[in-house]
Chains A and B, each alone.
Chain A
Amino acid sequence: MIVAEPKELAEVLEMVAPYDEILVVGCNTCMADCSAGGQKEVERLAKDLVAEREDLIVEKTTIPRQCSIKFIERLQDKVRGFKAVLSMGCGNGVQMLARQFPDIHVLPALNTRFIGAKDENGVWNETCMACGNCILWRTGGICPVTRCAKGLLNGPCGGSKDGKCEISKDVPCVWQEIYYSLNRLNLVHYLKDEAPKSGTRIHPRRVVKKDSRLQLLV
């Protein structure tokens, strides 16, 4: 899932300062899972905003996903009359709302952090940086590009000790985890092979699927 964190209330207040009325829009999939912008968090933020600004009229709504145009279209009536909308979606959700409603100022209530997983209560870790060149089959299902502090393709480096990364005793050395994982799978010989080439990192990225485009034309 995509993991985000709520912005400081002060920053949200600064963004909404020019407006008397605001619609808070939650996103009930990833943002709910990472306790950043689901229905529960929408309620809380609405309360906090009113507590700080009595004059502010706050309305709330939550859609299943802000990354889907079909759910965003359902907001058509809700947003009418608002000059500004506070999105509790990820960065993509904010941009999709802004594109759908070009005359409304769409404000981000969250800082989008990464693609990751919940590892324990209240702790999420980055697992994938969408590099576009997946090598997980040869690294035992653990991504070094994302999770090794140096993004090494040939690890572990000389700083790896007792399962920990050289940068901190709180950070696991994923290359050791990869090593043990491959050992378990009897695939440790993969580490002997030449390292895969680093993926391209050119932004902005785009995916074009020829067959889906053809369908659209029909």
Chain B
Amino acid sequence: MKSGSNLEKVLSSGQFALTAEAGPPKGTSAAAVKRKGDILKTCCDALNVTDNQTAIVRMSSISGCVLLKGMDVEPIMQMVVRDRNRIAIQSDILGAVALGIRNILCLSGDHQSFGNHPSAKGVYDIDSIQFIQLVKTMRDEHKFLNGEDISGDVPLYIGAAANPFADPFEFRVRRLAKKIKAGADFIQTQGIFDMDKFSRWMTIVCDEGLDQKVHILGGIIPIKSVGMARYMAKNVAGISVPDELVKRMQGAKDAKEEGVKIALETIEQLKEVDGVHGVHIMAIAWEDIVPRIAEEAGLMPRPIL
């Protein structure tokens, strides 16, 4: 075991994993984090705690993780290089491990110009691939980026993101390969709405044998309304929402029900795609739908290992 985390155990045992996302509040309420923890506790193997997602200031990911740990929910600490240089990154990793965090998701982060402090200085001292490599070196060689020794273990299960829908398509698998080579143990993909494109991507991934080297969790974003579908199609970087899907949401009598149906259909299809080892549900401001989706997708109960 690299980290001994629950997520690592579930994935290594060959079971179909389920993770979900819990964004910390734009404030100081521990109860807000715990409420999400309560809802998602039994229906997922680990919970991603976002790191100032879309560059909007929120409670830190580390503290969200610690709050979840306190209620026996396993966190995945998301960390972006947008706001930290290599000193801060390594220091936060040491602290996170000391606090019992065992999963990390290494991201570059949405550009600060999207957020509520658009003139903030973007740090980007290292990029996401160098970041993955840094964590792996800390874990496997007990060394900092400068080669100095770290005292103590750094048991972290290393995650990375992949977006099969960004351009150029031909390059996307290559980029995944680079992340795996750098040290990624698991991958959470961007929300999947274009199953065709995703399957094409996965075929190349499997042809190159990459599915043997990493656990890929397909991203699910349950859609609540036509407005949300339209918004994502137009405004969210890196998401591709086909027109048919917008039309389907538009034609639906009960938009929320239709959204759940779409999510369930996507999970059903993902179970059949070679090389997909789980799903990651990002129900933004709609966490209470996750238990139902998990149940109806036949993913309950979650394994206890």
Contact = CB atoms under 8 A, between A and B. Distances in A.
Interface size class of A (residues with CB under 8 A): 20 to 34
B127 A159 contact: no
Contact of B163 (A149, A152, A158, A192): A158
A74 B82 CA distance: 48
Interface in A36-51: none
Contacts, number: 84
A161 B167 contact: yes
A154 B237 contact: no
B111 A159 contact: yes
A191 B128 CA distance: 15
Given A151-B124, A192-B177, A159 B129 contact: no
Contacts of B124: 150-152
Given A159-B237, A161-B237, A150 B122 contact: yes
B211 interface: no
Interface in A42-88: none
Contacts of B126: 198
A154 B175 contact: yes
A152 B108 CA distance: 9
Most chain-B CB neighbours within 10 Å: which of A157, A162, A198?
A: A157
B161 interface: yes
Contacts of A160: 166-168, 238
Classify chain B: how many residues form its interface, as a range: 20 to 34
A191 B168 CA distance: 13
A151 B130 CA distance: 13
A115 interface: no
B114 interface: yes
Contacts of A191: 171, 174, 178
B128 A157 contact: yes
Contacts of B130: 153-154, 195, 198
Given A161-B238, A198-B130, A176 B175 contact: no
Contacts of B171: 156, 179, 191
In the A-B complex, the 5 residue pairs with the closest CB atoms: A158-B163, A166-B237, A159-B237, A154-B129, A152-B127
Interface of A: 149-163, 166-168, 173, 176, 179-180, 191-192, 195, 198
22 contacts: A149-B111, A149-B122, A150-B108, A151-B127, A153-B129, A153-B130, A154-B127, A154-B175, A155-B127, A156-B167, A156-B171, A156-B175, A157-B108, A158-B190, A161-B166, A161-B237, A167-B111, A167-B113, A176-B167, A179-B168, A191-B174, A198-B125
